[in-house]
Amino acid sequence: MSSVEKQFVAAKETYAAMGVDVDKALAKLQSIPVSIHAWQGDDVIGFEDFTSALTGGCQVTGNYPGRARNADELRADLDVAMKLLPGTLKVGLQGHQVDKMFPGVDRDGFTIDNFSAWRDWAVARGIGMDIAPCYYSHPKLDHGFSLSHPDPAIREFWINHGIACRKIGEAFGKATGKACICNFWMPDGFKDTPADRYAYRQRMFDSLDKCFAYQADPKYLRDAVEPKLFGIGVESCTIGSNDFYLLYAQSHKKMMCFDTGHFHPTESIADKLSAIFSCGMDEVLLHVSRGVRWDSDHIIVLNDELLSLARESVAYDYVDKINFMLDFFDASVNRLAAWVVGARNLQKALLIGLLEPADAKQAEAKFDFTARLVAQETAKTLPWGAVWDYFCEKNNVPTDNNYLAVIRAYEKDVLLKR
């Protein structure tokens, strides 16, 4: 018996004494898909045949060597990262991370042919794919507006891009046998106080209806809409605000996306989950990121916010209604390490939630808040780390002490030569 197994057996006994079924928790963690965001690997630049500055509130800082310059390099990087991650995985794309471009075809004309190698790659690895239309970094993001722009021709371009990405996502779903989530986020808004918010939101509403007019098979494609408190250059008014999208999602039977970096630093996304599920929303998408003072998309760490989010996700048997996707981009560190650290931290947080003893809930049901506090604090020192190491070993991936060597070797052999 390995040292990891010995520590796991001891931890399992500790949890069993507190009424926790560790095997059940591990089986559940194994089944929860985590979608790895491809845009961490190319700094959200994409692979179109024109050069455009990052616009629409996207900003990547740092110049660490080895950025993926094309889809082949990005897939190679993802292959290495995914070999260091346990559990069930998907990969999410932005709508400009194409395999190939065709003469005269812009984003409004993309088809699965532009993404065929991604489809084949996913099928070969038995993973699902997600996609998001790319409403930024393009000349037709005029004055920072896309679906809400006053010019009907500009709106039509972006509407057609949204429809194209939904059809590509449906093709991904049919090929992989796993539903693709197509998430809509637009950066439209004003840097300073607008004179007419209403007209822009009316146009956004109408444009979204046209994007979703194509009836995709929900077995293969599910749609989400993502709000934002503010972004760079749109500090005074974001057209796609939380209020706008929450009502749109509920009235149009779309999935609400909560990005953990898109809200005020004192807001709790964890608290929102029970609120929306108790009011009848069937499913949500979580973009798991880390805002530092503002929407800066830092690599997620195992902090109180992440632990609270994961705990709320698993504590009430609605984890099956939640879709987890990473969403951060950092070019100040090794990009593969960013993926691996972030994904592992999300999985660790979910595991800690799944291993939570029931005594805190039981005490609360009796209004014994003293016992609840003691139970919550006691749970923080339980040996979940031994269970995590066993989960990694069971999935044939390195434990936390050992994966960095793999990344360093790949950096030396591949990334530094780009």
Q: Which residues are catalytic?
A: 185, 226, 228, 259, 262, 287, 295, 297, 327
Answer whether 60's CB lies under 8 Å from 330's CB. Answer: yes
Tokens representing residue 300 in the block: 């997620």
DSSP 114-146: GGHHHHHHHHHHT-EEEEE---SSSTTSBTTBS
Question: In angstroms, rounded to a whole number, what is the distance separating the alpha carbons of residues 311 and 333?
Answer: 28
Question: In angstroms, rounded to a whole number, what is the distance separating the alpha carbons of residues 223 and 220?
Answer: 10
What is the distance of C-alpha 364 from the center of its chain? 32
Element (H, E) at 240: none
Question: In angstroms, rounded to a whole number, what is the distance separating the alpha carbons of residues 179 and 401?
Answer: 34
Question: In angstroms, rounded to a whole number, what is the distance separating the alpha carbons of residues 407 and 224?
Answer: 33
Question: In angstroms, rounded to a whole number, what is the distance separating the alpha carbons of residues 346 and 259?
Answer: 14
217 closest CA partner among 165, 257, 180: 180
Pairing relationship of beta strands 180-184 and 221-225 according to DSSP bridges? parallel
Question: In angstroms, rounded to a whole number, what is the distance separating the alpha carbons of residues 189 and 44?
Answer: 20
